[in-house]
Amino acid sequence: MSMDASDLPQPGEPLSRTPRHVGLIPDGNRRWAAARGLRRGAGYEAGIGPGLRLLQVCRQLGIEEVSIYGFTKENTRRPAGQVEAFRTACVSFAKGALEQGAALLVVGDAASKIFPEELRPWTDARSPGDVRVNLLANYGWHWDLHSARARQARTPVRPATMFGALASRDVSRIDLVIRWGGRRRLSGFLPLQSAYADFYIIDSLWPDMRIDEFRGALAWYQEQDVTLGG
Cβ atoms of residues 96 and 48 within 8 Å:
yes
Three-state SS for 68? strand
Instruction: Give the chain's radius of gyration (CA, Å).
Output: 17
Give the side-chain half-sphere CA count within 13 A for 32. 21
Cβ atoms of residues 29 and 90 within 8 Å:
no
Cβ atoms of residues 91 and 85 within 8 Å:
no
Per DSSP, the residues of 18-29 read --SEEEEEE--H
Of 75, 109, 144, 198, the active-site residue reads 75
Of 27, 109, 144, 198, the active-site residue reads 27
Return the exposure string of 175-185: e unless at least 16 CB atoms fall within 10 Å of the residue's CB, then b: bbbbbbbeeee
Is 75 annotated in the active site? Answer: yes
Give the side-chain half-sphere CA count within 13 A for 135. 35
Task: Just list the catalytic residues.
Answer: 27, 75
